[in-house]
Amino acid sequence: MTTHTTGRVIVISGGGTGIGAATAALYAEQGDRVVVLGRRREPLEQVAAATGAWALPTDVADSAAVRESLDEVLAAYGRIDVVVANAGGHGLASVGETDDAEWERSFRVNVTTAFVLVRAALPQLEAASGQVVVVSSLAGLFAGPGVAGYAGGKHALIGLTKSLARDYGRRGVRVNAVCPGWVRTPMADGEMDELRQLHPELADRDAAYATVTENVPLGRPAQPEEIARIIAFLGSPASAVMTGNTILADGGAHVVDLPTIAFDA
């Protein structure tokens, strides 16, 4: 890597697909220096080829691996200005159907990844008066059926966001969380395929997405680029007075009073 000493440096976990890839593209378009982290080399390199980002394959739940990757970033760029903690995954079962290993895996991919990455970056974030954007989910506020590990982890991310904001605001670091609803990502596409197996009358993914957003005020899923714009706002001087916030980006799903749906003409 060529050594640079100026310009903002953005580190994004889960940067190979979906929201992470869209966020990398947006920051790169704005002229920032973008580093994408994740376990899978191929999608990271695809993002790098498309955006000019730097792909660093890293298990973001592994403290030693994260430290090694951030040391590389610091050697090349000399600073870290924004961390987007976007890595995550599913814990798809109810409590009674979740074994110890699955529970631990859910928290490792959803919570430990954010904790480890932000902890390692804190000295640089303090030096830069930087920002952290934690990508939680609507599942961080509400519970869907049979997703105990996922909902538990996403709820924990909101607590982590508040704790970081409380402890590090006086040190110049701002921390906010984004809670997307349905977003058209590869992960959500897989869920739509599962929904179609349960409901064979759904002709395609578009029909599945239409079904899951039927009672959402905007009536559609978000695109990854729409969530990326919110992340980029929070990770910028434009949001200078905001910290500890939980920003819902769900098409209005959270305002719907479920018991009154039957009265909707």
Query: Do both 191 and 99 map to the same domain?
Result: no
Point out which residues pair with 56 in neighbouring strands.
Answer: 37
State the average pLDDT over residues 97-118. Answer: 96
Residue 261 domain-assigned (yes or no): no
Question: Token pair 């058209």 is at which residue?
Answer: 184
Residue 156 domain-assigned (yes or no): yes
Closest by Cα among 134, 113, 147, 121 to 227? 134
Task: Round the average pLDDT of the chain to a whole number and report it.
Answer: 95
Are 48 and 54 in contact, with CB atoms under 8 Å apart?
A: yes
What lies within 8 Å, CB to CB, of 150 at 6+ separation is 89, 90, 91, 92, 106, 110, 137, 139, 144
Q: Please give the pLDDT value at position 262.
A: 86
Residue 125 domain-assigned (yes or no): yes
State the average pLDDT over residues 50-63. Answer: 97
Question: Model confidence over 13-52: pLDDT tens digits?
Answer: 999 999 999 999 999 999 999 999 999 999 999 999 999 9
State the average pLDDT over residues 195-214. Answer: 95
State the average pLDDT over residues 201-210. Answer: 96
Helices (H) and strands (E) in the chain, counts: 9, 7
Residue 265 domain-assigned (yes or no): no
To the query of whether residue 150 is one of the catalytic residues in this protein, the response is: yes
Q: Please give the pLDDT value at position 3.
A: 40
Number of domains in the chain: 2
CATH number where 41 lies: 3.40.50.720
What lies within 8 Å, CB to CB, of 122 at 6+ separation is 168, 173
Task: Grade residue 4 by pLDDT with cuts at 50, 70 and 90.
Answer: very low
Residue 135 domain-assigned (yes or no): yes
Residues 33 and 57: their CA atoms lie apart, in Å, by 17
Q: How many CA atoms lie within 13 A of 125 on its CB side?
A: 27
Query: Do both 233 and 211 map to the same domain?
Result: no
State the average pLDDT over residues 180-208. Answer: 95
Query: Do both 190 and 134 map to the same domain?
Result: no
Burial 159-174 (b: 16+ CB within 10 A, else e): ebbbebbeebeeeebb
Query: Do both 173 and 55 map to the same domain?
Result: yes
Q: Please give the pLDDT value at position 73.
A: 98
Query: Do both 99 and 210 map to the same domain?
Result: no
Query: Do both 124 and 200 map to the same domain?
Result: no
Task: Classify residue 145 by burial, with Cβ atoms within 10 Å: 0-12, 13-18, 19+.
Answer: exposed
- What's the domain range around 198? 184-221
Query: Do both 178 and 189 map to the same domain?
Result: no
Residue 259 domain-assigned (yes or no): no
Residue 262 domain-assigned (yes or no): no
In the set 27, 77, 150, 168, the catalytic residue is: 150
Query: Do both 122 and 112 map to the same domain?
Result: yes
